[in-house]
Amino acid sequence: MSDATFAAMRQSIIDGAPETAAELAQQSLLAGLLPLDSVNLGYVPGMHCVGEEFAQRRMFLPDMMASAEAMRAAMSVLDPELRRLGTERPRAGVVVLGTVKGDIHEIGKCLVGTLLTAHGFEVYDLGVDVSGEKFAAAIRERNADLIGMSSLLTTTMKQQRTIVEVLEKEGLRSRVKIMVGGAPVTRQWAQEIGADGYGKDAATSVALAHSLMEDASRLASMENR
Ligand code: B12
């Protein structure tokens, strides 16, 4: 059980079949497959395939919605397993996470949140369609160390810049490290808008969050000398 299972997982997303997707996830756990492997090698490639088919007009919005439903069904089985590790680790930092204003894609952002939680971060997920003002309020309320902005549309990517500007205006920019991600986002874009880092996928986002926390504590200890 592995290559054939990953292929079946991928197909369950393409077919938009939540029951099959969830059942394969259950079976994979029973067989001892790592949940992150199932996500990265099974379900996410299915999502990429759906995205390509949509772009080629061979699949349409209802198909994409059915695929998202299948992905959610698989994640509802895998999520608790992915999170389990988090309770056994010391707190790594506080993260406020959200999909930017105008954008309702949430699957990748939720996955990043799950893995950050699994690695000891305290995560406050603001959901989708989040404005700079909402990010700012949550940073204050939660005393956040990091924020993570997700954006899946080329049109909403620009919101990431707007949100950085809002944080600057509200005097919060130096208080938090900013991570950005989402399919159209690049390292170059992150630099251009003045973010602190870009995460290509959920696993690299965890490494990024840890390294940004280290940068922040190094800076704080230099300032205290
Ligand atoms: C599923 C999906 C939907 C679902 C979303 C359901 C949901 N609840 O999330 C629905 C059907 C609602 C949808 C709607 C639309 N969609 Co859509 N969608 C997708 C699809 C197929 C998959 C996205 C996904 O979940 N991927 C899987 C996850 C795991 O990957 P990910 O999101 O990239 O996240 C990873 C990394 O990017 C990174 N990451 C993500 N966020 C963050 C945040 C931080 C801080 C960090 C560090 C890292 C990070 O880590 C994640 C995990 O590894 C993509 C195709 C694609 N290839 O992306 C199109 C896609 C994004 N959609 C697209 C479009 C056009 C739309 C619509 C405009 C369609 C329409 N005509 O209405 C609407 C937009 C609505 C809106 N205002 O937001 C286009 C965007 C094109 C563009 N250039 O902008 C795409 C690329 C499809 C295509 N090829 O044309 N969509």
**Could you give the angle at which helices 3-15 and 61-84 cross, rounded to 10 degrees?**
140
Whether 217 has a pLDDT exceeding 80, the answer reads no
Taking only the tens place, the pLDDT of each residue in 96-117 is: 999 999 999 999 999 999 989 8
Whether 137 has a pLDDT exceeding 70, the answer reads yes
Q: The pTM is what?
A: 0.93
In whole angstroms, give the CA distance from residue 38 to residue 25.
Answer: 8
Average of per-residue pLDDT values in the chain: 93
From atom 69 of ligand 1, which residue's Cα is the shortest distance away? 61
From atom 25 of ligand 1, which residue's Cα is the shortest distance away? 107
Within 6 A (CB) of ligand 1 lie 44, 47-48, 50-51, 54-55, 61, 64-65, 67-68, 102-109, 111-112, 148-150, 152-154, 179-184, 199, 201-202, 205
Whether 126 has a pLDDT exceeding 80, the answer reads yes
From atom 40 of ligand 1, which residue's Cα is the shortest distance away? 182
